């Protein structure tokens, strides 16, 4: 079943290798594993399998130590029966790290041919097939009698070439050893090179894709993967929780935003209506204010024209865009008329409508002159606050002036007559009006 699964996922694995994603993942894994101590790194190694070698009838067990394989046990199975062979083989695997009954068969350097080869860059999409076709040219062994694996060591885009490390071994003796391992009850994870399988994070595996088994996961590796998955979930939660809070805040603000938007729309609509009404109200006033009254025009002409000029005819015409005046008369200084009107600030584009002719009075010229009347600029708009204050002042009743004080009544003292002064009887006294607030006199 594992072999079938491997064959099913072989195209996917090849696609991952071609896109470079596998190289990136391996590099990232190596960077993370390099931060761990050597003991922990070996304990949680992703290749959870025992390493076995064979020398005749003896099976040798190896343990990875500091990037190399160190011998951890040895057993001779040649003199044992089938049950004894299985028990001895099981005891050999019991003390080794990794998952039980999952082994790597390691080959000595003299059993594997390793060389550097170059292939066209265009062959990278189906590199294993291309190497299989050229294997008899690259090595002394044909593809039918050999197992091989490769590792990409470099890419030269300019030369369109790939640099590879190619490892090749004979197929027949390795198949016999693999069959013996399977008879002893173990699953073969791969066939590697002694100097490469423990030192490289991606060791060369000479076992074909269809013959590779998925390794059984040990408890330590499973715990490491569970912890890694939990850490990834916590990291994702740490990234997603603030976003979720922001989302909730945005959702809570939606009603207020809609209310504010509705109020803004109403205010904008009212503002446009106010502008429209103000424009309609000020249209007539603006037209009236922009047109200079004819009386003002006559006053300005009387002030501007030289004393030697008199006008016999004055016409004011209103066009679609502007007003113009037409003057006809006689002048003694026709050269100054255009200049005087242009500098006035009231008229513009002054010109003679017809050539000058000799006037009736000697030394004068008859002219017919046309000039545009400049529209008066509109006054500056009055702020709304000033209008409100003016309206409030007009609506406030006027305060009456304080009452004037009442005039005081004068007291007249009679002057004695000459008869009174001489002792003659005088007229009866006349009562004096009492002053306001003064006490009345009694006889």
Pick from 113, 178, 107: nearest CA to 141: 113
In the chain, residues under CATH classification 3.30.1360 are: 294-373
Question: Is residue 5 pLDDT above 70, yes or no?
Answer: no
| Three-state SS at 386 | helix
pLDDT classification of 236: cutoffs 50, 70, 90: very high
Percent of the chain's residues with pLDDT above 70: 75
In contact, 116 and 166? CB cutoff 8 Å: yes
pLDDT band at 412 (very low <50, low <70, confident <90, very high): very low
Which pLDDT score, from 0 to 100, does residue 442 have? 41
Task: Report helix, strand or coil for 177.
Answer: helix
Q: Is the pLDDT of residue 433 over 70?
A: no
44-53, 248-257, 325-334, 413-422: range with lowest mean pLDDT: 413-422
Q: Each residue of 365-401: pLDDT tens digit? A: 888 888 888 887 777 776 767 767 777 777 776 566 6
For 73-110, what is each residue's pLDDT tens digit?
888 877 788 888 888 888 887 767 555 567 888 888 88
Q: Is 143 exposed, middle or buried (0-12, 13-18, 19+ CB in 10 A)?
A: middle
d(CA 89, CA 75): 8
Contacts of 43 (CB under 8 A, 6+ apart): 97, 220
- Helix-strand-coil split of the chain, %, nearest 5: 45, 25, 30
Over residues 164-181, the pLDDT tens digits come to: 999 999 888 888 888 888
Q: What is the pLDDT of residue 16?
A: 61
Give start-end residues of each CATH 3.30.420.380 domain in the chain: 2-217
pLDDT band (50, 70, 90) for residue 300: confident
Of 148-157, 263-272, 286-295, 322-331, where does mean pLDDT reach its minimum? 286-295
Whether 420 shows a pLDDT value over 70: the answer reads no
Taking residues 353-360, report their average pLDDT: 84
The set of residues, in sequence order, having a beta carbon less than 8 Å from that of 96 and lying 6+ positions away, is 50, 51, 61, 63, 72, 73
Residue 33's pLDDT is what?
Answer: 66
Query: For the domain 294-373, what is the CATH code?
Result: 3.30.1360
Residue 338, pLDDT > 60, answer yes
**DSSP sequence for 282-296:** HHHHHHHHHSPPHHH
Q: Which two tokens stand for residue 53?
A: 């070698």
Q: Report the C-alpha gap between 373 and 141 in whole angstroms.
A: 108
Look at residue 215 and tell me whether its pLDDT is greater than 60.
Answer: no
pLDDT at residue 321 above 70? yes
pLDDT at 430: 41
pLDDT of the residue at 23: 67
**What's the pLDDT band for 325 if we cut at 50, 70, 90?**
confident
195 vs 381: which has the higher pLDDT: 195
Residue listed under structure tokens 């593809």: 143
- Whether residue 435 is predicted with pLDDT greater than 50 in this model: the reply is no
Over residues 52-60, the mean pLDDT reads: 83
pLDDT (0 to 100) of residue 237: 92
Q: Is the pLDDT of residue 347 over 50?
A: yes
Q: Is the predicted pLDDT of residue 343 greater than 90, yes or no?
A: no
What is the mean pLDDT of the segment spanning 237-248?
A: 92
Q: Rounded to an integer, what distance in angstroms lies between the CA atom of residue 399 and that of residue 198? A: 110
Question: Residue 426 pLDDT more than 80?
Answer: no
Given this model, what pLDDT does residue 407 score? 55
What number is the average pLDDT over the span 409-431?
46
How confident is the model at residue 244, as a pLDDT?
A: 92
Helix (H, G, I), strand (E, B) or coil at 113: strand
Is the whole model's pTM more than 0.85, yes or no?
no
What does the pLDDT average to over 8-36?
65
What does the pLDDT look like over 114-164, one tens digit per residue?
999 998 988 888 888 888 888 888 888 888 889 998 888 888 888 889 899
Give the rounded distance of the alpha carbon of 4 from its chain centre.
Answer: 49
pLDDT category, 363, cuts 50, 70, 90?
Answer: confident
pLDDT at 18 over 80: no
Q: What 3-state class would DSSP assign to 341?
A: helix
Q: What is the CATH number of domain 2-217?
A: 3.30.420.380
Q: What confidence score (pLDDT) does residue 116 get? A: 92
pLDDT at 267: 93
């Amino acid at each position: 079943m594992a072999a079938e699964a491997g064959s099913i996922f072989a195209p996917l694995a090849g696609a991952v290798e071609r896109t470079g994603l596998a190289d990136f993942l391996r590099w990232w894994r190596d960077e993370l594993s390099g931060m761990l101590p050597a003991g922990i790194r070996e304990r949680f190694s992703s290749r959870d399998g025992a390493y076995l070698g064979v020398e005749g009838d003896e099976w040798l067990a190896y343990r990875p130590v500091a990037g190399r394989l160190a011998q951890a046990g040895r057993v001779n199975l040649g003199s044992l029966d089938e049950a004894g062979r299985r028990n001895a083989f099981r005891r050999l695997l019991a003390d080794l790290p990794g998952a039980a009954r999952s082994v790597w068969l390691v080959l000595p350097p003299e059993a594997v041919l390793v060389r550097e080869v170059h292939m066209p860059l265009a062959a990278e999409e189906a590199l294993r097939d291309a190497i299989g076709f050229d294997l008899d040219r690259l090595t002394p062994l044909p593809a039918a009698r050999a197992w091989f694996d490769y590792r990409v060591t470099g890419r030269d885009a300019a030369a369109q070439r790939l640099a590879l490390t190619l490892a090749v071994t004979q197929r027949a003796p390795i198949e016999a050893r693999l069959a013996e391992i399977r008879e002893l009850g173990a699953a073969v994870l791969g066939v590697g090179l002694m100097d490469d399988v423990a030192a490289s994070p991606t060791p060369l595996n000479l076992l074909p894709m269809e013959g590779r088994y998925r390794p059984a996961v040990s408890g330590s590796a499973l715990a490491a993967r569970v912890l890694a998955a939990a850490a990834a979930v916590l990291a994702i939660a740490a990234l997603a929780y603030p976003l979720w809070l922001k989302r909730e805040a945005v959702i809570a603000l939606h009603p207020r935003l809609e209310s504010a938007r509705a109020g803004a729309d109403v205010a904008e609509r009212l503002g446009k209506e106010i502008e429209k009404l103000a424009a309609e109200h000020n249209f007539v006033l603006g037209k009236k204010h922009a047109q200079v009254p004819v009386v003002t025009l006559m006053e300005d002409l009387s002030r501007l024209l030289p004393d030697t000029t008199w006008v016999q005819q004055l016409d004011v015409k209103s066009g679609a865009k502007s007003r113009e005046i037409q003057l006809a008369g006689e002048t003694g200084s026709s050269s100054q008329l255009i200049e005087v009107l242009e500098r006035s600030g009231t008229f513009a584009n002054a010109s003679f409508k017809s050539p000058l002719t000799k006037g009736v009075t000697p030394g004068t010229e008859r002219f017919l002159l046309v000039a545009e009347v400049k529209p008066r600029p509109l006054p500056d708009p009055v702020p709304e606050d000033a209008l409100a204050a003016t309206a409030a002042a007009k609506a406030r009743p006027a305060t009456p002036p304080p009452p004037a004080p009442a005039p005081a009544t004068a007291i007249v003292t009679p002057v004695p007559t000459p008869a009174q002064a001489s002792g003659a009887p005088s007229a009866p006294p006349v009562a004096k009006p009492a002053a306001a607030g003064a006490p009345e006199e009694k006889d």
